[in-house]
A = this chain, B = another copy of it.
Amino acid sequence: MQRFILFLLLAGFCVPTLGQNANNDDAFFIRKIYDQALTEGRSYPWLEFLATRIGGRLAGSPQAAAAVEYTKQMLDTLHLDSVWLQPCMVPHWVRGDKEQVKIVSSRKMGDVDLRAFALGNSVGTSENGIVAEVVEVQSLDEVDKLGPQALTGKIVFYNRPMDPTQINTFNAYGGAVDQRGAGASRASKQGAIGVLVRSMTTRNDDIPHTGGMSYEAGVTPIPALAISTNDANLLSELLQEEAVRVFIKCNPQKYPDKLSYNVIGEIRGSEKPEEIILVGGHLDSWDVGQGAHDDGAGCVQSMDVLQIFKRLNYKPKRTIRCVLFMNEENGLAGGRAYAEISNKNKEFHLAAIESDRGGFTPRGFTAESQATDFEKKFKNMSNWLPLLEPYGLTLSLGGGGADIGPLRSQKGILIGLYPDSQRYFDYHHTAIDTFDAVNKRELELGAAGMTALVYLLDKYGTD
């Protein structure tokens, strides 16, 4: 191996020298972090419980309450300086009976059941369901163009796929998800009575993907459901040949907001306790699967950061805080409440790292900030790259995460763990986002990478 390193240098390979801030002690400690994570990490068994024993845990559900209790208990076992629950009021939406979506009396196919999930926050149909002709569109703008003449009394079918040529699948998601979030409002304004949306995935399969949507103030709320991509393809092909009528029946309900909690644990800093380094994910998930990748993974990784530091007997200079946010999926109440209270208490988050892109092999971190000297801070952090690159980690500009977003005004650094994105949208918001879809090593490497970055942030700050 030595031979190879020598050769790398001979070959003129660009081996950046360590910045003044980093040294061999750091390389040694980061190696210990990885050893710990890969041999005595707790993220995997914690996730097993959260995903398989508790399961899907939409805000307001009994499972969400169980997840709060379970993760608090686990944090309590770590002998942290404090563990507490932070109250927040969350929306309480319940899916109700299994959705029915059916192509009705197609000349070619007869009746065909479509695999569907109501979108989160959607209203239901009447008890008898609705039946209407389907109009396929590719965009929100196309709905506006078609107008009420074409759409009144119809079901609008948004069928623009995620772009498979995007290398980062989150870009493909970003290019299609407006249909899910805003499609119902736009269609309702033109007189439509319901909306079907192609599931957000690049795969062609039978798995419907739920997800959040909302109604603009003043529009008539109409039912909105996602159908699987195979069913979307079938429906689209059929529409080439004949007018198609679809029956939809679902009865999700919105109940009054409920009290729930963010779960928080911290190791208090020995020198600068007022500078907080946050690690977190969101504890709630959609109800249809186990919420393993989204975002059980991010929660247990964040908990493991504290566990690893405690096992290594690391005494941080700054306060290291793990926050498991409630209600990211359909409201962000937890993230908002956390920032509000933090601001009220005049806290300062030097950095906040969120893991909410699945428990896959980490490829690095994305960072953003409203700090006026972010450029300089980012450059300082880039000096750590030689310590992170041996573990396959890079640092680039990009979003931090939804839950930590409300902390933006504190002008610290918001950081997102950036794992390999290829498989995420196979599982995202589905019934197959289950524990067995998570690889133990991939999950643990994410926890280790987060811990390594927190260590460097704690030791050197960002200035």
Residues of B within 8 Å of A378, CB to CB, are 11
- Choose among B14, B34, B375, B439 the residue that contacts A11 (Cβ–Cβ < 8 A): B375
Per the bound structure, the CA–CA distance linking A268 and B284 in Å amounts to 57
Per the 8 Å Cβ criterion, residues 156-182 of A in contact with B are 164-165, 167, 169
Q: State A39–B165 Cα separation when bound (angstroms).
A: 7
Evaluate contact between A14 and B12: CB separation under 8 angstroms: no
How many angstroms between the C-alpha atoms of A157 and B177 in the bound complex?
Answer: 55
CA–CA, A378 to B202, complex, Å?
36
Neighbouring B residues of A391 by C-beta, 8 Å: 167
Asked if A13 contacts B420 (CB within 8 A), the reply is no
- Verify B382–A422 contact, CB threshold 8 A: no
CB distance from A203 to the nearest CB of B (A): 7
**In the complex where A39-B164, A420-B420, A445-B422 touch, is A440 in contact with B375 (Cβ < 8 A)?**
no
- Segment 382-407 of A: residues with Cβ below 8 Å from B: 382, 390-392, 396-398
Q: Is A16 close to B, CB under 8 A?
A: yes
Selecting from A2-10, A116-124, A143-151, the interface stretch reads A2-10
Tell me if A426 is interfacial: C-beta within 8 Å of chain B.
yes
Q: Is A442 on the interface with B (CB-CB < 8 A)? A: yes
Residues on B with C-beta less than 8 A from A202 are: 441
Q: Are A165 and B11 in contact (CB under 8 A)?
A: no
Residues of chain B lying within 8 A (CB to CB) of residue A4: 397-398
Interface string of A34-72 (1 = CB under 8 A from B): 110011000000000000000000000000000000000
| Number of copies of this protein chain within its complex | 2
Instruction: Verify B363–A165 contact, CB threshold 8 A.
Output: no
Chain A contributes a number of interface residues (CB within 8 A of B) equal to 40
**A260 on the B face (CB < 8 A):** no
Check A164 against B379 for contact (C-beta < 8 Å).
no
> Closest residue to A3 on the B side, CB-wise?
B397
Q: How far is the CA of A125 from the CA of B12 in the complex (A)?
A: 55
Complex interface: chain B residues within 8 A of A16 (CB): 14
Provide the bound-state CA to CA distance between A8 and B395, in Å.
11
Please determine whether A392 and B167 come into contact, CB atoms closer than 8 angstroms. Answer: yes
- CB neighbours (8 Å) of A423 from chain B are 439, 441-442
Judge if A210 is at the interface, Cβ distance under 8 Å. Answer: no
Given A164-B39, A165-B34, A167-B392, A422:B442 Cβ within 8 A: yes
- A397→B445 CA distance, assembly (Å): 23
| Cβ-based interface call for A185 (8 A) | no
Query: For the complex, is A451 an interface residue (Cβ under 8 Å from B)?
Result: no
Given A391-B167, A397-B8, A203 and B440 touching (CB < 8 A)? yes
Would you call A34 and B361 a contact (CB within 8 A)?
no
Q: A11 to chain B: which residues have CB within 8 Å?
A: 375, 378-379, 382, 397
Minimal Cβ-Cβ distance residue in B for A10: B375
* Residue among A11, A169, A203, A392 having the largest count of chain B Cβ atoms under 10 Å: A11
Q: By the criterion CB–CB under 8 Å, are A164 and B441 in contact?
A: yes
A17 to B: closest C-beta gap in Å: 12
Residues B165 and A375 in contact, CB atoms below 8 Å apart = no
Bound complex: CA of A361 vs CA of B423, how far in Å? 10
- The 8 Å CB contact of A35, one of B13, B14, B165, B390, is B165
List residues of chain B with CB within 8 A of the CB of A167: 34, 390-392, 445
- Complex formed: what's the CA distance from A382 to B16 in Å? 15
Instruction: Please indicate the chain B residues that have their CB under 8 angstroms from the CB of A165 in the complex.
Output: 34-35, 38-39
Residue among B12, B382, B390, B442 making CB contact with A13, cutoff 8 Å: B382
Name which residue of chain B comes closest to A36, CB basis.
Answer: B165
- Between-chain CB contacts (< 8 Å), 7 pairs: A4-B397, A11-B397, A39-B164, A164-B441, A363-B392, A422-B439, A423-B439
Interface, chain A (partner B; CB < 8 A): 4, 7-8, 10-14, 16, 34-35, 38-39, 164-165, 167, 169, 202-203, 361, 363, 375, 378-379, 382, 390-392, 396-398, 420, 422-423, 426, 439-442, 445
Seed contacts A8-B396, A12-B375, A38-B164; 12 additional CB < 8 Å A-B pairs: A11-B375, A11-B379, A35-B165, A39-B164, A39-B165, A164-B441, A167-B390, A167-B392, A169-B441, A361-B422, A363-B392, A420-B420
- 9 pairs of A and B residues whose beta carbons are closest in the complex: A422-B441, A35-B165, A38-B164, A11-B378, A38-B165, A422-B442, A12-B379, A11-B375, A361-B420
